[in-house]
Structure 1
Amino acid sequence: MGNTNVNLAELIGSRICHDLISPIGAITNGLELLDMVGAVQGPEMELISGSVGSAGARIRFFRVAFGSAGEQPLGRAEVTELLKDMERTGRVRVIWNLKEPVPRNQVKLAFLGIMCCESAMPLGGTVEFKTQDEKWTITGTADKLNVDAELWKHVATGRFPNKITPAQVQFALLPETANAMGRRVSVETAATRVLLRF
């Protein structure tokens, strides 16, 4: 995949997320109004509310991970709020140790890294972020990991011998996006830990 394709994919990702977030927001507002007037109550309402909240959180996350991203900063509060919303709907806990705002394109890399780690944690786990001298380290830990060795082995080069599936797209986008920013991805895997650096 060349840079032109990556940029096109980013634009498509931004467009889809932009177009979906408005109706999801409208449904959320409608549910809040129904709740205020007591029109609908019970487990059905909780199920619908939870599902809409989950969809909204995922779309906002995907907008950063797959959308176009420049140097504009994202503040700690905005990133951690988004990650907390994601935690409510998933099994992975995220520790964002960064205190200062971070350029959006670097947050994009971080979110792609979360998705890579998440794929190896079917029973849940923890993903922790650290930076030093603008170098990122993402550490995913879990009692039980399910690491696809072929995918992780080739993340550094971005050349995969087998066809990438839609569920694995983050593994292809991470090295391509890093390369476009002049960064290189390195990987370490162990029985209970996966580590990404860029």
Structure 2
Amino acid sequence: MMSKNPNLTLTGPDLAALLCSRVCHDVISPVGAINNGLELLDEGGADSDAMDLIRTSALNASVRLKFARLAFGASGSVGASIDTGEAERAAKDFAVAEKKTEVIWNGPRAIVAKNRVKLLLNLFLVAYSSIPRGGTLELTLENPEFDAKFKIVARGKLMRVPAKFVEITSGQVEEAIDAHSIQPYYTVLLAEECGMELGHSATGEEIIFTAESVSV
């Protein structure tokens, strides 16, 4: 099936490679911090400070990997379904580890198609990046098993809709997709695979991201 978005042209190997680069980028910092903490212990530094650094960084790495497994990974066989409760826990743990954003989750708990859950979590990442100084993200799920609608309201300081997300959704990307822009690209690709339409709007107080099932 030909894509409706002219920007969705990456081959399978390129998509896989860029997603792997994204995941590695997300975990390399906390893993590096664990190594720093161990080096501090080896040098006879402050044991309590070193252990705090190791514990915090290990938690951060674990949370990021668990999130990536749901948002980017297979998470079961092809065509499998996922409990939205897992997605809720992954999103909230991610925000707690980052220590700057509160996540509010509204909607029924349900077992839904894997790609819809992946879309929801990737849209969460897009919304998360729209409030770089932190704030709140309120997620609402309506009828997730059938004619699903997802809404994420972002509130915080210095809000802005991620530029690459706007470019890719509008079909007007000027530069090649790279490891930094692969995540919004994957979000748009998942929406198309799920038969859902993405939208966003912004005011001075909030940014709203939506994904709605498209009626055939």
The answer for the alignment partner of 2:94 in structure 1 is: 86
Higher helix share: 1
Alignment partner for residue 189 of structure 1, among 172, 196, 202?
A: 202
Distance 1:178 1:7 in 2: 20
Structure 1 counterpart of 2:125, one-letter code:
M
Q: Percent identity, aligned pairs only?
A: 22
**Structure 1 stretches (4+) deviating beyond 6 angstroms?**
none
Specify every segment of 5 or more residues in structure 2 that has no aligned partner in the other structure, as ranges: 1-6, 35-45, 212-216
Q: TM-score, normalised by structure 1?
A: 0.72
What is the DSSP-based 3-state SS (H/G/I as helix, E as strand, rest coil) of the residue aligned with 1:174?
helix
Distance 2:91 2:62 in 1: 12
Alignment partner for residue 144 of structure 1, among 142, 148, 158?
A: 158
Alignment of 1:111 onto 2:117: no
Q: TM-score, normalised by structure 2?
A: 0.67
Distance 1:104 1:10 in 2: 18
Contact 2:198 2:209 in 1 (8 A): yes
Q: State the shift of 1:41 in Å.
A: 5.7
Alignment of 1:127 onto 2:141: no
Contact 1:11 1:68 in 2 (8 A): no
Contact 1:58 1:86 in 2 (8 A): yes
The answer for the alignment partner of 1:101 in structure 2 is: 111
Q: State the shift of 1:48 in Å.
A: 0.3
Distance 2:18 2:166 in 1: 28
Alignment of 1:5 onto 2:14: no
The answer for the alignment partner of 2:169 in structure 1 is: 156
Contact 1:65 1:112 in 2 (8 A): yes
Contact 1:141 1:193 in 2 (8 A): yes
Alignment partner for residue 175 of structure 1, among 188, 192, 207?
A: 188
Contact 2:91 2:121 in 1 (8 A): no
Distance 1:144 1:107 in 2: 28
The answer for the alignment partner of 2:38 in structure 1 is: none
The answer for the alignment partner of 1:30 in structure 2 is: none
Specify every segment of 5 or more residues in structure 1 that has no aligned partner in the other structure, as ranges: 28-39
Alignment of 1:54 onto 2:60: yes
Q: State the shift of 1:166 in Å.
A: 2.5
Q: What is the aligned-residue RMSD (CA, Å)?
A: 3.3
Distance 2:17 2:73 in 1: 6
Q: State the shift of 1:79 in Å.
A: 2.6
The answer for the alignment partner of 2:43 in structure 1 is: none
Distance 1:73 1:189 in 2: 32
Structure 2 counterpart of 1:177, one-letter code:
L
What is the DSSP-based 3-state SS (H/G/I as helix, E as strand, rest coil) of the residue aligned with 1:122?
coil
